[in-house]
Chain A
Amino acid sequence: AQSVTQLGSHVSVSEGALVLLRCNYSSSVPPYLFWYVQYPNQGLQLLLKYTTGATLVKGINGFEAEFKKSETSFHLTKPSAHMSDAAEYFCAVSDPDSSASKIIFGSGTRLSIRP
């Protein structure tokens, strides 16, 4: 069975500081991995995804994530936080050989940006 754990339900950083949102997964097969962002009063939007190939994945809005198989991690980073990055971020994992019903989302991390 697959699962995903997001460490820290709330992260607060200063504007211009490094953003690091942690995601660890459990999977018996090489997974697909996703980060979604949810801005207030909106649905989720895909930030980036890893399927195969290069382990460092670049997404929208300057975010990137690195798939580290040895650490079963897919942490999300951004070098310099902007006020507009304040949102809830969801990590998700799926089994490539299964259906979309097996996309498992984490509980989310709320990112706050201090001026």
Chain B
Amino acid sequence: ETGVTQTPRHLVMGMTNKKSLKCEQHLGHNAMYWYKQSAKKPLELMFVYSLEERVENNSVPSRFSPECPNSSHLFLHLHTLQPEDSALYLCASSPGSTVSTNEKLFFGSGTQLSVL
């Protein structure tokens, strides 16, 4: 148990659906992240939030829309996805408010997304 909880664990959606992924951390951390993990590929950083402010958007298509209402919760809203968006989506958090590359990342177990 890492203290980062993601729901749902699995999600199947059609290309016209709208769904949301949820991440909650119980660690008192100030930074939260969305990563995409595709088979045989390196982890891709999608978004970074520090103190509820988006500090990084890594050229992610607009069909992915993040939301960070407070420092404990992070959402990823999905709409009109493509089959190539099927992947494991991982949420992570880290302690600092200034996002440092020295910090340990705490990952959730991920949401396995399948787009039909």
Contact = CB atoms under 8 A, between A and B. Distances in A.
Interface in B89-116: 90-92, 94, 99-105, 107-110
Interface residues of A, number: 27
Contacts of B2: 43, 45
Given A100-B31, A101-B45, A43 B90 contact: yes
Nearest to B103: A100
Given A45-B107, A98-B101, A90 B56 contact: no
A101 B107 contact: no
A9 B101 contact: no
Given A51-B102, A105-B43, A100 B107 contact: no
A44 B42 contact: no
Nearest to B41: A107
Given A43-B108, A43-B109, A100 B33 contact: yes
Residue with the highest number of chain A CB atoms closer than 10 Å, among B6, B42, B58, B100: B42
Interface in A83-113: 90, 94-96, 98-108
Nearest to B56: A101
Contacts of A17: none
A49 interface: yes
A95 B109 contact: no
A104 B107 contact: no
Interface string A38-51: 00011111100101
B45 A43 contact: no
B114 to A, nearest CB: 15
Interface string B23-57: 00000000101000000111101001000000110
Given A43-B2, A45-B107, A107-B41, A101 B48 contact: yes
28 contacts: A36-B107, A42-B110, A43-B90, A43-B108, A43-B110, A44-B43, A44-B90, A44-B105, A46-B105, A49-B104, A51-B102, A96-B101, A99-B48, A99-B56, A99-B99, A99-B100, A100-B33, A100-B48, A100-B99, A100-B105, A101-B55, A101-B56, A103-B105, A104-B42, A105-B42, A105-B43, A107-B40, A107-B41
